[in-house]
Structures are given as C-alpha cells and as structure tokens.
Amino acid sequence: MKRTALMYIEIGCFLSCTSGWILICSTLPTEYWNFSEVGDAVLTTVNYYSNLWMNCVSDTTGVSDCKYYPSLMALPVFMHICRALAIVSVILGFWGAVLTLIGMKCTKIGGSELVNARITLAAALTNMASGLSGMAVYSLWGNRMRMQFIDANFKPQKFELGAALFIGWGGSSLLICGSAVLCYFSGKEGFNSGSRDTLLREDAYTRARSRATYVTARTRGTYMLPDYSKPNTAAYMPPLFSSSRNSRGYKRQQRVYTSRRTATAVPLNMDSYV
C-alpha cells in the first residue's frame, strides 16, 4: 500500500481513537449513569440518578441536590473496580493519543519509517487497552442494573440504564475499532520491514561467502589489490620505442657483448706470449 494511503488511514484512526477517548472522559462527570422515577402524577414525580461519585435527586420544580458518597472505605468492591477501570481507561487513552502523534507519518517526529511503524503499533495497543477498560466499566455497570431490575427478590429501588452508559459504549467502540485498524497496518509494516531487512542482510552475506569460495589463488591476488594497482586492460599503452630501431643504450650493450665474445673466441698459441 502506498505511503499516502497509509498516512490517511493513520489520521482516520487517530481521529476515531481521540473521539472515543473524549466521549469516555465526558461520561465521568455525568450523573446519569442510572436513573429512576418515583411518583404516579406528573406534579409529584421525583427523579433519582447517580454515577461513580455521587447520588442525586430532583423533583418537578427543578430543584436538585447531589451528595457525594460519604466514605471511601465503606464503598463496595464493585464500585472500587469500576472507578479503577475508568481511571485506567482515561490514562491509557491519553498516552495512546500522544504515541499516535509521535508515530504518525505526517508528523515526522519518530524518525525512520520502521521506528514510526513500531511507535504507532505501541500506540494502537495502548488505545486498545483503553477501549477495553472503558467497555468493561460500562458493561459491568449495565449488567448490575439489569440483574437488579429483573430480580424479583430485590426490594430496594430499581434503576434504569442512564445516557452515560450508551455514550461510554459508543466511545469505547470507537477506540477499539480505530486501534484495531491501526494495529493491523502498523504491525504489518513494522514487522515486515524488520524481517525484510534481516533477510536482505543474510542474503547479501551468503552471496559474498559463495563468491569468495570460487576465487582461485591467482585471481584472489588480483582482486584483493587496491583499485589504483589493478591492471587495466582497457587502456592501450604505446611502446616506448619502435621495434625497428633500437635505442642507443641497447646498441652499446650489444657492442660490448660482441667484443667480449670475440675476444674469448680467439685461439691462443705460443706466439701470443712473445
């Protein structure tokens, strides 16, 4: 796939994950995680609603009052788990957005293409963990409300699913879908690039070794010489002197050699010593 197409895919996944993270953050201060209405007549209706941090009540006159949970230690384990998962989802979503900005191709902050792909893969996994944490929070809360509503033996007040749960489910779905697409493309690019580079290095080493085994002792001395000392057969060097004419030094050497040979060839007799 072309680099421009991958860049547009990364931008779309980043927008999807960021939008999902913003939706999850918006549900934390919202009171309408669950609600209930008490009253038969319109003028005497009272609304009860709550979230992870407080319980609220309002009536038809528009007066509302909210009260935080009085003791942290007195809360049930279910409430502590939901709070922890919600906070983890927000933190992971923030760092996922930061890593995505660093690893995207259009920002050019991470460095090389391989480093950017691996940073983007880490960002996708972080966003995936954020979306799964958020999905777990809203699913646990919604399942608890459903079980209490359908339980005939549950005597306290029963609640309905609030608007914050549906917003959270939508935000978590955006995070999971965007991070899944980003994880697929960045992982494919990151791991394939690394394996391709390794294979190319190994292949080049193998070819070099195979070439070295077929070099003979005579050619090895030639090929191991530096470039400036290698024989150049392409260039034509004219002879220093013509073959028809001998040089002056060569003629002198031939004359000396002839005279010496003549002197040694003369026969000696008794008259030569007189």
Residues 99 and 119 sit within 8 Å (Cβ to Cβ): yes
CA distance 127 to 100: 9
Convert the pLDDT of each residue in 236-260 to its tens digit: 455 554 455 555 555 555 565 555 5
- Whether 249 is in a domain gets the answer no
Number of compact structural domains in the chain: 1
- Whether 228 is in a domain gets the answer no
pLDDT of residue 65: 84
User: Rounded mean pLDDT of 103-119?
Assistant: 81
Measured CA distances, 156 to 9, 44, 146 (Å): 50, 20, 14
CA distance 17 to 100: 10
- Whether 16 is in a domain gets the answer yes
Question: Which residues form the domain of 163?
Answer: 3-186
pLDDT of residue 235: 47
- Whether 236 is in a domain gets the answer no
- Whether 7 is in a domain gets the answer yes
CA distance 116 to 6: 12
- CATH number at 104 reads 1.20.140.150
- Whether 26 is in a domain gets the answer yes
CA distance 162 to 35: 6
CA distance 66 to 83: 19
Residues 43 and 60 sit within 8 Å (Cβ to Cβ): yes
How remote is the C-alpha of 32 from its chain's centroid? 39
Convert the pLDDT of each residue in 212-235 to its tens digit: 444 454 544 554 555 554 455 444
- Whether 45 is in a domain gets the answer yes
pLDDT of residue 246: 52
Classify the phi-psi angles of 111: left when phi > 0, otherwise alpha if psi is within -120 to 50, otherwise beta.
left
CA distance 162 to 147: 15
Confidence band of 206 (pLDDT split at 50, 70, 90) = very low
CA distance 48 to 62: 13
Residues 182 and 13 sit within 8 Å (Cβ to Cβ): yes
Tell the burial category of 2 from Cβ atoms under 10 Å away from its Cβ (0-12, 13-18, 19+): exposed
CA distance 59 to 161: 19
Maximum Cα interatomic distance, the chain, rounded to a whole number of Å? 170
- Whether 229 is in a domain gets the answer no
pTM flag (> 0.75): no
Tokens 């669950």, residue? Answer: 34
- 237 compared with 146, residue with greater pLDDT: 146
Convert the pLDDT of each residue in 33-60 to its tens digit: 988 877 655 566 788 888 888 888 888 7
